[in-house]
Structure 1
Amino acid sequence: MGSAKIIDISHAEMVFDTKKGSFHALADVNLSVEQGEFVTLIGHSGCGKSTLLNLIAGLTRATGGVLLYGGREIAGPSPERGVVFQNHSLLPWLSCYENVYLAVERVFGAREGKGKLRERTQAALAMVGLSAASAKRPHEISGGMKQRVGIARALSMEPRVLLLDEPFGALDALTRAHLQDELLRIVAETGSTVVMVTHDVDEAVLLSDRIVMMSNGPAATIGQILQVRLARPRDRLALAQDALYMDYRASVLEFLYQRQPRRAA
């Protein structure tokens, strides 16, 4: 992990205008992410995790505070910050290859020939193990494969930061575990900085260098940050019996349990 800040968030606020009036989603959020770091955002539903990720992506503008990427204010989306959503958002009429190629062409098409663009597309699909499925359309592949195409598309743009919004949340347990392992491998190969939203405590501990625990909304903020000092590469089977892993897991569960939303009577 590097020592240079790539993302720096200072006193970020987010207020949405709704039909019922103003909704204060985020309040006084302060967070820095270093180059090469893997950070997860965790908390109960409605705590602003995805809102914060969208602010980093530049998909939404903060109503207060400052968000910097590489020392410059985040003013909108950028290929340097690749995003993967829980809904893969693939174009159904295009093949896996064409979905990735579209992103490659948009970022590199003005300065590279078609041969180089094809190489980039094929390399991204190979990285997620989908070379053999490149000609298939989204309806012809599984949910896990669709998510891998989404990750390939984001990686094909060679982002400095990979932003993941619960990309494995809708998958079965075995597929999810496989893609978590794939993500660990890819991040180790590329050295990417990652910010990931998750509801899954085990996923957060397995993947993270730091776990950012959000308080409940409205006016959600960062309640606690946990440094995960587990050696890499990480083996999920070995970690299942690791005392330090279990301590981290218990710490996150305790935080979430203490802030469990009250149920209406």
Structure 2
Amino acid sequence: MKRYVNVENAGMVFTTRQGEFIALRDIDLTIERGEFITLIGHSGCGKSTLLNLIAGLLLPSSGHLFCAEREIAGPGPERAVVFQNHSLLPWMTCFDNIYLGVERVFGDTEDKAKLRQRTLDALALVHLSHAEKKYPHEISGGMKQRVGIARALAMQPKVLLMDEPFGALDALTRAHLQDELMKIVAATQSTVVMVTHDVDEAVLLSDRIVMMTNGPAATIGEILSVDLPKPRNRLALANNPHYHQLRGAVLEFLYQKQAHKEAA
């Protein structure tokens, strides 16, 4: 296993009208190639801030972050982000939304035929070949998220970063996209870091679950290895004692942090 992301003693401080706000402190995390990592914790614990640091959308106030042995100094095509809001351009078709990202990454080195094929391959990967000419307003919320995932994967990133990508979807659509994501990650061997509030989602998808302490000055409280065999089937896991043991461990951590928060 090759290290793809390394976070070394990272901290993040924001300047506000009330003074300095310490969002994160002492973050140390190593993510191996092909790992699926989820970040979980109560609201305000800095999950999205840590994701944005890895994305290069924020630069740390202290410490260092690396991707593929190079220091992260800003956004880059080796790190693609999928947000809760699909962020599709409404005046472009599904094909064109993906092609735009592909052209930006590979336009200087590949001809238009190769760029088009990359785009079509990405649509096929998320089972949306039939929707290539449709506009965002013509497709469902789940399909929009699949286009967003396809756009990210089409750029062949070293790391796929996902900030609650299924949080705004209904339960059935969410479950379907979780299953699709597991298949896509297995096919592409992608390295994934995903923010979630959903304990079941974290256990179903993850190789490791990074549990954050409460903010301010949040840090990593525990890291849980999810040693369930792959591929995973949600129906089979429903009766798996070890699945429930892992789920209980995450819930216990969250309940303890909630009790501490209420007592403070």
TM-score in terms of structure 2 length: 0.98
SS in 2 for 1:256: helix
Matches of 2:134 and 2:84 in 1, distance apart?
20
Matches of 2:93 and 2:19 in 1, distance apart?
43
Structure 1 counterpart of 2:124, which letter? A
Q: 1:15 aligns with which of 13, 16, 22?
A: 13
Q: Which runs of 5+ in 2 are unaligned?
A: none
Q: Deviations over 1:3-49 (max 9, x none)?
A: 21111111100001112211100010000000010000000011000
Matches of 2:245 and 2:223 in 1, distance apart?
14
- Aligned partner of 2:43 in structure 1 is 45
Percent of residue pairs identical: 69
- Aligned partner of 2:136 in structure 1 is 138
- Aligned partner of 2:219 in structure 1 is 221
Structure 1 counterpart of 2:178, which letter? Q
Matches of 2:92 and 2:196 in 1, distance apart?
29
Structure 1 counterpart of 2:102, which letter? V
Matches of 2:34 and 2:95 in 1, distance apart?
28
Matches of 1:137 and 1:216 in 2, distance apart?
41
Q: Deviations over 1:142-189 (max 9, x none)?
A: 110110000000000011110000000000000000000000000000
Matches of 2:237 and 2:21 in 1, distance apart?
41
- Structure 1 residue 245: Cα displacement: 0.3
- Aligned partner of 2:247 in structure 1 is 249
SS in 1 for 2:242: helix
Q: 1:85 aligns with which of 72, 83, 86?
A: 83
Structure 1 counterpart of 2:92, which letter? L
The 5 A counterparts of 1:121-136 are 121-136=119-134
Q: Deviations over 1:55-84 (max 9, x none)?
A: 000010000011111111100111111110
Q: Is structure 2 residue 113 aligned with structure 1 residue 115?
A: yes
TM-score in terms of structure 1 length: 0.97
Matches of 1:123 and 1:213 in 2, distance apart?
35
- Aligned partner of 2:148 in structure 1 is 150
Q: Is structure 2 residue 222 aligned with structure 1 residue 206?
A: no
- Aligned partner of 2:74 in structure 1 is 76
Structure 1 counterpart of 2:256, which letter? Q
Structure 2 counterpart of 1:118, which letter? R
- Structure 1 residue 251: Cα displacement: 0.2
Structure 2 counterpart of 1:75, which letter? A
SS in 1 for 2:123: helix
Q: Which runs of 5+ in 1 are unaligned?
A: none
Q: Report the number of matched residues.
A: 263
Q: Deviations over 1:63-113 (max 9, x none)?
A: 001111111110011111111000111111111100000000000111111
Structure 2 counterpart of 1:181, which letter? D
Structure 2 counterpart of 1:124, which letter? A
SS in 2 for 1:28: strand
- Structure 1 residue 139: Cα displacement: 1.0
SS in 1 for 2:173: helix
Structure 1 counterpart of 2:191, which letter? T
